[in-house]
Amino acid sequence: MHAANRPVAPGSWPATVTRQLGRMRTQTALVDDELVQQTRATYDRVAVDYDRRSQEVAAPFEQFRARFAADVLAIRGPVADLGCGPGRDLAVLRAAGLNAVGIDLSGGMLAVARHRDVPVVQGDLREPPLQPGSLAGLWSSAALLHVPRPEVAATLTTWHGLLRLGGRLGLSTSLGGQDGWELVPYAGEGPAGGDLHRWFVHHDQKDLTALLEQAGFTITSVEQRTSHRTWSQVRAVA
Protein backbone atom coordinates (compact mmCIF):
# COMPACT_ATOMS: atom_id res chain seq x y z
CA MET A 1 0.00 0.00 0.00
CA HIS A 2 2.91 2.40 0.38
CA ALA A 3 4.05 4.39 -2.64
CA ALA A 4 6.19 7.44 -2.20
CA ASN A 5 4.75 10.30 -4.20
CA ARG A 6 5.53 13.96 -4.06
CA PRO A 7 2.80 15.56 -1.96
CA VAL A 8 -0.15 16.99 -3.87
CA ALA A 9 -1.17 20.48 -2.87
CA PRO A 10 -4.90 20.56 -3.69
CA GLY A 11 -5.89 23.40 -5.95
CA SER A 12 -7.31 22.30 -9.23
CA TRP A 13 -7.24 18.54 -8.73
CA PRO A 14 -7.30 17.41 -12.37
CA ALA A 15 -4.30 19.52 -13.40
CA THR A 16 -2.37 18.77 -10.23
CA VAL A 17 -3.04 15.08 -10.42
CA THR A 18 -1.93 14.95 -14.05
CA ARG A 19 1.40 16.49 -13.09
CA GLN A 20 1.88 14.15 -10.16
CA LEU A 21 1.34 10.96 -12.16
CA GLY A 22 4.63 11.49 -13.96
CA ARG A 23 6.57 12.13 -10.74
CA MET A 24 5.72 9.11 -8.60
CA ARG A 25 8.42 6.75 -7.51
CA THR A 26 8.19 3.58 -5.45
CA GLN A 27 9.89 3.33 -2.11
CA THR A 28 10.77 -0.36 -1.89
CA ALA A 29 11.21 -0.34 1.85
CA LEU A 30 7.61 0.75 2.29
CA VAL A 31 6.00 -1.81 -0.01
CA ASP A 32 8.01 -4.87 1.00
CA ASP A 33 5.11 -6.31 2.93
CA GLU A 34 3.45 -9.60 2.02
CA LEU A 35 0.03 -8.64 3.37
CA VAL A 36 -0.04 -5.44 1.34
CA GLN A 37 1.59 -6.82 -1.78
CA GLN A 38 -0.68 -9.84 -2.14
CA THR A 39 -3.78 -7.80 -1.43
CA ARG A 40 -2.77 -5.25 -4.06
CA ALA A 41 -1.95 -7.97 -6.59
CA THR A 42 -5.34 -9.54 -5.96
CA TYR A 43 -7.15 -6.27 -6.60
CA ASP A 44 -5.17 -5.79 -9.80
CA ARG A 45 -6.48 -9.17 -10.96
CA VAL A 46 -10.13 -8.74 -9.96
CA ALA A 47 -10.70 -5.01 -10.55
CA VAL A 48 -13.11 -5.29 -13.46
CA ASP A 49 -15.31 -7.90 -11.80
CA TYR A 50 -15.14 -6.11 -8.45
CA ASP A 51 -16.42 -2.96 -10.10
CA ARG A 52 -19.23 -4.81 -11.83
CA ARG A 53 -20.39 -6.40 -8.58
CA SER A 54 -20.20 -3.27 -6.44
CA GLN A 55 -22.28 -0.83 -8.51
CA GLU A 56 -25.35 -0.90 -6.28
CA VAL A 57 -25.18 0.22 -2.65
CA ALA A 58 -27.59 -0.18 0.24
CA ALA A 59 -29.76 2.76 1.24
CA PRO A 60 -28.07 3.24 4.67
CA PHE A 61 -24.67 3.54 2.98
CA GLU A 62 -26.03 5.90 0.34
CA GLN A 63 -27.47 8.12 3.07
CA PHE A 64 -24.21 8.04 5.01
CA ARG A 65 -22.27 9.07 1.92
CA ALA A 66 -24.74 11.89 1.21
CA ARG A 67 -24.43 13.21 4.78
CA PHE A 68 -20.65 13.27 4.46
CA ALA A 69 -20.93 15.18 1.17
CA ALA A 70 -23.25 17.70 2.80
CA ASP A 71 -20.83 18.11 5.72
CA VAL A 72 -17.97 19.00 3.38
CA LEU A 73 -20.04 21.18 1.05
CA ALA A 74 -20.88 23.31 4.07
CA ILE A 75 -17.21 24.11 4.70
CA ARG A 76 -15.88 23.82 1.11
CA GLY A 77 -12.47 22.60 0.06
CA PRO A 78 -10.58 19.63 -1.41
CA VAL A 79 -11.54 16.05 -0.60
CA ALA A 80 -9.59 12.80 -0.86
CA ASP A 81 -11.15 9.36 -1.31
CA LEU A 82 -8.53 7.07 0.24
CA GLY A 83 -8.68 3.53 -1.10
CA CYS A 84 -10.98 4.72 -3.88
CA GLY A 85 -10.88 1.42 -5.78
CA PRO A 86 -12.70 1.65 -9.12
CA GLY A 87 -13.98 5.15 -8.32
CA ARG A 88 -17.63 4.46 -7.57
CA ASP A 89 -17.85 6.73 -4.52
CA LEU A 90 -15.41 9.23 -6.00
CA ALA A 91 -17.69 9.77 -8.98
CA VAL A 92 -20.70 10.26 -6.69
CA LEU A 93 -18.85 12.75 -4.48
CA ARG A 94 -17.74 14.77 -7.50
CA ALA A 95 -21.26 14.73 -8.92
CA ALA A 96 -22.43 16.15 -5.59
CA GLY A 97 -20.15 19.14 -6.13
CA LEU A 98 -17.05 18.11 -4.16
CA ASN A 99 -13.55 18.82 -5.43
CA ALA A 100 -12.42 15.23 -4.86
CA VAL A 101 -9.45 13.11 -5.92
CA GLY A 102 -9.04 9.35 -5.47
CA ILE A 103 -5.99 7.53 -4.15
CA ASP A 104 -5.44 3.78 -4.38
CA LEU A 105 -2.45 1.46 -4.53
CA SER A 106 -3.95 -0.93 -7.08
CA GLY A 107 -3.12 0.01 -10.65
CA GLY A 108 -5.87 -2.29 -11.85
CA MET A 109 -8.46 -0.47 -9.76
CA LEU A 110 -7.22 2.92 -10.94
CA ALA A 111 -7.44 1.80 -14.57
CA VAL A 112 -11.13 1.11 -14.03
CA ALA A 113 -11.62 4.40 -12.16
CA ARG A 114 -10.15 6.39 -15.06
CA HIS A 115 -12.97 5.15 -17.28
CA ARG A 116 -15.24 7.23 -15.03
CA ASP A 117 -13.21 10.32 -15.94
CA VAL A 118 -12.28 11.05 -12.33
CA PRO A 119 -8.85 12.27 -11.08
CA VAL A 120 -6.86 9.54 -9.36
CA VAL A 121 -3.32 9.05 -8.07
CA GLN A 122 -1.57 5.80 -7.22
CA GLY A 123 -0.54 5.88 -3.59
CA ASP A 124 -0.83 4.29 -0.18
CA LEU A 125 -3.69 5.24 2.10
CA ARG A 126 -1.33 4.80 5.05
CA GLU A 127 0.86 7.64 3.78
CA PRO A 128 -1.17 9.48 1.14
CA PRO A 129 0.72 11.80 -1.24
CA LEU A 130 -1.02 14.89 0.10
CA GLN A 131 0.07 17.99 1.96
CA PRO A 132 -0.67 18.12 5.70
CA GLY A 133 -3.65 20.30 6.53
CA SER A 134 -4.74 20.48 2.90
CA LEU A 135 -8.11 18.72 3.01
CA ALA A 136 -11.62 19.80 3.95
CA GLY A 137 -12.82 16.21 3.72
CA LEU A 138 -11.44 12.68 3.84
CA TRP A 139 -13.59 9.76 2.70
CA SER A 140 -12.60 6.11 3.04
CA SER A 141 -14.92 3.18 2.46
CA ALA A 142 -13.95 -0.49 2.73
CA ALA A 143 -10.24 0.35 2.68
CA LEU A 144 -9.00 0.72 6.27
CA LEU A 145 -9.89 -2.96 6.65
CA HIS A 146 -6.80 -3.84 4.59
CA VAL A 147 -4.35 -1.89 6.78
CA PRO A 148 -2.39 -4.32 9.01
CA ARG A 149 -3.51 -3.84 12.59
CA PRO A 150 -0.14 -2.61 13.94
CA GLU A 151 -0.33 0.30 11.47
CA VAL A 152 -3.93 1.40 12.01
CA ALA A 153 -3.25 3.90 14.79
CA ALA A 154 -0.49 5.62 12.81
CA THR A 155 -2.66 5.63 9.69
CA LEU A 156 -5.53 7.38 11.46
CA THR A 157 -3.11 9.92 12.95
CA THR A 158 -1.78 10.61 9.45
CA TRP A 159 -5.33 11.08 8.16
CA HIS A 160 -6.09 13.54 10.92
CA GLY A 161 -2.99 15.50 9.95
CA LEU A 162 -4.13 15.78 6.34
CA LEU A 163 -7.34 17.55 7.37
CA ARG A 164 -7.45 21.22 8.20
CA LEU A 165 -9.00 22.25 11.49
CA GLY A 166 -12.70 21.43 11.27
CA GLY A 167 -12.21 19.08 8.31
CA ARG A 168 -14.59 16.14 8.01
CA LEU A 169 -13.98 12.40 8.03
CA GLY A 170 -16.33 9.82 6.54
CA LEU A 171 -15.16 6.29 7.36
CA SER A 172 -16.83 2.97 6.62
CA THR A 173 -15.00 -0.18 7.68
CA SER A 174 -15.83 -3.70 8.77
CA LEU A 175 -16.43 -4.92 12.30
CA GLY A 176 -15.63 -8.26 13.86
CA GLY A 177 -12.37 -8.05 15.76
CA GLN A 178 -10.33 -10.63 13.84
CA ASP A 179 -7.56 -10.51 11.24
CA GLY A 180 -6.75 -12.92 8.43
CA TRP A 181 -6.66 -13.90 4.77
CA GLU A 182 -9.98 -14.27 2.98
CA LEU A 183 -10.65 -15.91 -0.37
CA VAL A 184 -11.84 -13.58 -3.11
CA PRO A 185 -15.28 -14.24 -4.64
CA TYR A 186 -14.45 -12.30 -7.81
CA ALA A 187 -13.04 -13.56 -11.08
CA GLY A 188 -9.94 -12.04 -12.62
CA GLU A 189 -9.13 -11.72 -16.30
CA GLY A 190 -7.43 -15.09 -16.26
CA PRO A 191 -8.25 -18.00 -13.92
CA ALA A 192 -11.17 -17.79 -11.51
CA GLY A 193 -10.32 -15.85 -8.38
CA GLY A 194 -10.85 -18.67 -5.90
CA ASP A 195 -7.12 -18.95 -5.16
CA LEU A 196 -6.72 -15.20 -4.66
CA HIS A 197 -6.69 -13.75 -1.17
CA ARG A 198 -7.00 -10.39 0.55
CA TRP A 199 -5.83 -9.53 4.06
CA PHE A 200 -8.63 -8.21 6.28
CA VAL A 201 -8.58 -6.47 9.63
CA HIS A 202 -12.06 -6.35 11.16
CA HIS A 203 -12.34 -3.90 14.03
CA ASP A 204 -14.17 -3.84 17.32
CA GLN A 205 -16.37 -0.73 17.43
CA LYS A 206 -15.20 0.36 20.87
CA ASP A 207 -11.54 -0.07 19.90
CA LEU A 208 -12.03 1.74 16.59
CA THR A 209 -13.71 4.65 18.36
CA ALA A 210 -10.81 4.85 20.81
CA LEU A 211 -8.24 4.84 17.99
CA LEU A 212 -10.05 7.65 16.18
CA GLU A 213 -10.22 9.74 19.33
CA GLN A 214 -6.56 9.09 20.09
CA ALA A 215 -5.73 10.29 16.57
CA GLY A 216 -7.43 13.60 17.38
CA PHE A 217 -10.88 13.16 15.84
CA THR A 218 -14.12 14.26 17.47
CA ILE A 219 -16.76 11.72 16.49
CA THR A 220 -20.13 13.18 15.50
CA SER A 221 -22.00 9.99 14.55
CA VAL A 222 -21.55 6.21 14.57
CA GLU A 223 -23.89 3.87 12.73
CA GLN A 224 -23.81 0.19 11.93
CA ARG A 225 -25.24 -1.61 8.93
CA THR A 226 -25.22 -5.25 7.90
CA SER A 227 -24.75 -6.81 4.48
CA HIS A 228 -22.39 -9.76 3.97
CA ARG A 229 -20.44 -8.08 6.78
CA THR A 230 -21.21 -5.75 9.65
CA TRP A 231 -20.00 -2.24 8.92
CA SER A 232 -19.20 0.75 11.08
CA GLN A 233 -20.04 4.13 9.51
CA VAL A 234 -18.32 6.99 11.31
CA ARG A 235 -18.47 10.72 10.75
CA ALA A 236 -15.94 12.83 12.62
CA VAL A 237 -14.33 16.27 12.75
CA ALA A 238 -10.60 17.02 12.88
Number of Cβ within 10 Å of residue 38's Cβ equals: 15
Parse the chain into domains and list their residue ranges.
Answer: 13-237
Beta partners for 203?
Answer: 175
Q: Indicate the pTM of the whole model.
A: 0.86
Average pLDDT over all residues of the chain: 86
Pick the CATH number of 13-237 from 3.60.130.10, 3.40.50.720, 3.40.190.10, 3.40.50.150: 3.40.50.150
pLDDT for residue 230:
96
pLDDT for residue 174:
97
Q: What is the pLDDT of residues 108-157, one digit of tens each?
A: 999 999 999 999 999 999 999 999 999 999 999 999 999 999 999 999 99
Point out the least confidently predicted range of 21-30, 90-99, 187-196.
21-30
pLDDT for residue 194:
54
Find the helix packing angle between 205-215 and 152-162, rounded to 10°. Answer: 50
**Gap between the Cα atoms of 46 and 67, Å rounded:** 30
DSSP string, the chain: ---B-PPB--SSHHHHHHHHHTT-B--HHHH--HHHHHHHHHHHHHHHHHHHHTS---HHHHHHHHHHHHHHHHH--EEEEET-TTSHHHHHHHHTT-EEEEEES-HHHHHHHHTTT--EEE--TTS-SB-TT-EEEEEEES-GGGS-GGGHHHHHHHHHHHEEEEEEEEEEEEBSS-EEEEE--S--SSS-GGG-EEEEEPBPHHHHHHHHHHHT-EEEEEEEEESSSEEEEEEEE-
